[in-house]
C-alpha cells in the first residue's frame, strides 16, 4: 500500500519502445542534476540491458532493469509494489493498459501515461477511481502532447480571468517545421501512435465523448455548468488563421479539470481547434473527404489491418525530423469583460517534448508533493499537479507566455 517502502522513485515501463527510450534519456539527463532512483522495465531482457549500457555510456547514470510482461499480472503487481511512480509508454492502452493501472491502484502506486484514447480513460475512471482514492494512488492519464498543453494552458488562461461569471476558453493548436521545410506529417508519428489513432476511429467514439462530457458536467454539481464549445469553424486568436474543431480527448481532460476546481467559474466553456492559415480554407472540403475516407476504412477488418501495417511497432521519426519539429498552442480566454491571449510552445510535440512531459510529470509527483494538490484517484494532469508541473516544464524549455490581457471583451 501507499506506506510500503519502495525500491525506486520511478519505474519506466515500455522503456525500449520508441517513446519509452526517449523518455529514458530524458530521465537520465535529469538524474545528472537531481537525486532520484529509477529503473527501466519491459519484457525483453536483452533490449533492456542494451539500453542500460547505452545510458551509462552516454550519461554516466546507473539504472536498474526490471523484466515484466503486461500480460502477466504477477509481474505488474511486483513492479507496482517496487515503485512510487510508474510511467507507462506501452500502448495502445485500450489493449494493454488496464492491468498495470489495476496493479497501481491496488498498491497505492502513482501512475502516468501518454494515452489519447478516450474510451480507455473513461474505463479507468469507472473501474479504478474509487480504489485509487482508497489507496492514495494518483492515476494520471494523458501526460504527453495529449493533453498537457491544452490542460495547463487553459489553467494558465483561467487564472488571468475573473471567475465570478461565465468563462470561455478556445485553444488553437498548430505544429510544423522550425526550418520551414515541407515534410510528410505521417513521417512524424510512431507505430504506437498510429495504432492508437486507428483504434480511436470507431463509430461509437463521438457518442461516447458526448456522454463523458455530460457526466463531467453533472459531477460538477447543480450550481455549475461545463460544456464543450459548439463544433464550428472559429477565428483564431492569431490574425490570419482559423480554427477547425478537434474532437479529441483534450476537451474531456480540460472539462474534468474544470469540474474539480471552482477557479474555472460557474459557467465554463472550452473549445479545442487545429489552427490553419486562412489561405487553406478552400482546401477544407477535400481534407474532410480524406479524413472521412480514412475513418470509414478503419471500420472494416481488412482495411483496418492494412492501415495498421503502414507503421510497425517501434517506428518513429528520426532525430533530424524531431529536432526540426515544433508546436504552438494559443489560448483565447474571455470572462468578466476581460480578454486574454496566452500561448504554450515548444519542440517536437509527439516525441521530443512528450518525453519531457512524461519525465517532468513523474518527477513532479515524486519531488513536489507539498506544492501539488492533496488528492488521489483517476486524475487529469492539472488535477494531479496544480501549477507545479508548469514550473518544471518552463525550466525544461517549454514556453508559457501571456501575449495580451485586459483588453476590452469583443464579440465571439
- Are 204 and 273 in the same domain? yes
Q: What are 133's three cell numbers?
A: 482514492
- pLDDT tens, position by position, 232-274: 999 999 999 999 998 889 999 999 999 999 999 999 999 999 9
Per-residue model confidence (pLDDT) at position 409: 46
Q: Span 262-288, mean pLDDT?
A: 89
Q: pLDDT band at residue 411, thresholds of 50, 70 and 90?
A: very low
- Are 323 and 380 in the same domain? no
- Nearest residue to 381 via CA among 185, 20, 121, 63: 121
- Are 168 and 314 in the same domain? yes
pLDDT above 70 for 298: no
- Are 187 and 80 in the same domain? no
pLDDT above 90 for 191: no
d(CA 381, CA 257): 8
Per-residue model confidence (pLDDT) at position 219: 92
Residue 142, exposed/middle/buried by CB under 10 A (0-12, 13-18, 19+)? buried
pLDDT above 50 for 354: yes
Q: Span 215-236, mean pLDDT?
A: 95
Range scoring the smallest mean pLDDT among 119-123, 155-159, 305-309: 305-309
- Are 129 and 169 in the same domain? no
- Are 286 and 340 in the same domain? yes
Q: Is residue 323 part of a domain?
A: yes
Eight-class DSSP state of 164: S
CA atoms in the 13 A half-sphere facing the CB of 315: 15
- Are 306 and 160 in the same domain? yes
**Given the C-alpha cell 477488418, which residue does it identify?**
301
Q: Is residue 41 part of a domain?
A: yes
Look up the CATH number of the domain holding residue 18.
3.40.50.720
Q: Span 47-70, mean pLDDT?
A: 96
Range scoring the smallest mean pLDDT among 167-171, 272-276, 293-297: 293-297
- pLDDT tens, position by position, 76-123: 999 999 999 999 999 889 999 999 999 999 999 999 999 999 999 999
Q: Is residue 67 part of a domain?
A: yes
Q: Are 316 and 18 in contact (CB under 8 A)?
A: yes
Q: Is residue 336 part of a domain?
A: yes
pTM of the model: 0.92
- Are 297 and 310 in the same domain? yes
Q: Span 389-403, mean pLDDT?
A: 97
Question: What Rg do the C-alpha atoms of the chain give, in angstroms?
Answer: 21
Q: Is residue 70 part of a domain?
A: yes
Q: Span 50-70, mean pLDDT?
A: 96
pLDDT above 90 for 204: no
Round the average pLDDT of the chain to a whole number and report it.
89
Composition of the chain by helix, strand, coil, percent to 5: 45, 25, 30
- Are 137 and 282 in the same domain? no
Look up the CATH number of the domain holding residue 181.
3.30.360
Q: Is residue 3 part of a domain?
A: no
* Residue-number span of the structural domain to which 63 is assigned: 8-144+354-390
Q: pLDDT band at residue 179, thresholds of 50, 70 and 90?
A: confident
Q: Is residue 1 part of a domain?
A: no
pLDDT above 50 for 176: yes
- Are 311 and 182 in the same domain? yes
Count of structural domains, the chain: 2
pLDDT above 60 for 135: yes
Q: Is residue 220 part of a domain?
A: yes
Amino acid at each position: 500500500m501507499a506506506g510500503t517502502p519502495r525500491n525506486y522513485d520511478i519505474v519506466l515501463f515500455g522503456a525500449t519502445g520508441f517513446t519509452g527510450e526517449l523518455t529514458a534519456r530524458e530521465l537520465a539527463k535529469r538524474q545528472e542534476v537531481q537525486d532520484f532512483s529509477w529503473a527501466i522495465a519491459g519484457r525483453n531482457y536483452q533490449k533492456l540491458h542494451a539500453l542500460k549500457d547505452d545510458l551509462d555510456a552516454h550519461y554516466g547514470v546507473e539504472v536498474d532493469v526490471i523484466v515484466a510482461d503486461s500480460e502477466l499480472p504477477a509481474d505488474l503487481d511486483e513492479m507496482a509494489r517496487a515503485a512510487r511512480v510508474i510511467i507507462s509508454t506501452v500502448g495502445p492502452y485500450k489493449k494493454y493498459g488496464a492491468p498495470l493501472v489495476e496493479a497501481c491502484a491496488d498498491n497505492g502506486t502513482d501512475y502516468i501515461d501518454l494515452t489519447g484514447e478516450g474510451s480507455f480513460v473513461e474505463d479507468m475512471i469507472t473501474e479504478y477511481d474509487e480504489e485509487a482514492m482508497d489507496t492514495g494512488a494518483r492515476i494520471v492519464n494523458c501526460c504527453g502532447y495529449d493533453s498537457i498543453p491544452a490542460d495547463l494552458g487553459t489553467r494558465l488562461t483561467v487564472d488571468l480571468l475573473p471567475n465570478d461569471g461565465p468563462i470561455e476558453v478556445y485553444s488553437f493548436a498548430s505544429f510544423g517545421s522550425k526550418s520551414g521545410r515541407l515534410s510528410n506529417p505521417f513521417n512524424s508519428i510512431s507505430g504506437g501512435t498510429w495504432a492508437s489513432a486507428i483504434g480511436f476511429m470507431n463509430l461509437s467514439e463521438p457518442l461516447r465523448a458526448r456522454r463523458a462530457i455530460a457526466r463531467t458536467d453533472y459531477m460538477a454539481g447543480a450550481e455549475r455548468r461545463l460544456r464543450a464549445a459548439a463544433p464550428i469553424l472559429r477565428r483564431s486568436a492569431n490574425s490570419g488563421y482559423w480554427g477547425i474543431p478537434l474532437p479529441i480527448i483534450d476537451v474531456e481532460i480540460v472539462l474534468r479539470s474544470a469540474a474539480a476546481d471552482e477557479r474555472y467559474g460557474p459557467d465554463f466553456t472550452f473549445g479545442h481547434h487545429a489552427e490553419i492559415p486562412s489561405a487553406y480554407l478552400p482546401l477544407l472540403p477535400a481534407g474532410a473527404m480524406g479524413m472521412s475516407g480514412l475513418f470509414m476504412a478503419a471500420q472494416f477488418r481488412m482495411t483496418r489491418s492494412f492501415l495498421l501495417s503502414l507503421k510497425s511497432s517501434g517506428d518513429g521519426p528520426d532525430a533530424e525530423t524531431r529536432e526540426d519539429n515544433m508546436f504552438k498552442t494559443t489560448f483565447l480566454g474571455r470572462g468578466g469583460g476581460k480578454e486574454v491571449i496566452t500561448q504554450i510552445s515548444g519542440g517536437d510535440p509527439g516525441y521530443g517534448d512528450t518525453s519531457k512531459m512524461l519525465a517532468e510529470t513523474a518527477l513532479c509527483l515524486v519531488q513536489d508533493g507539498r506544492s501539488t494538490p492533496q488528492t488521489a484517484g483517476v486524475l487529469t494532469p492539472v488535477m494531479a499537479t496544480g501549477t507545479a508541473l508548469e514550473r518544471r516544464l518552463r525550466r525544461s524549455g517549454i514556453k508559457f507566455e501571456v501575449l495580451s490581457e485586459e483588453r476590452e471583451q469583443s464579440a465571439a
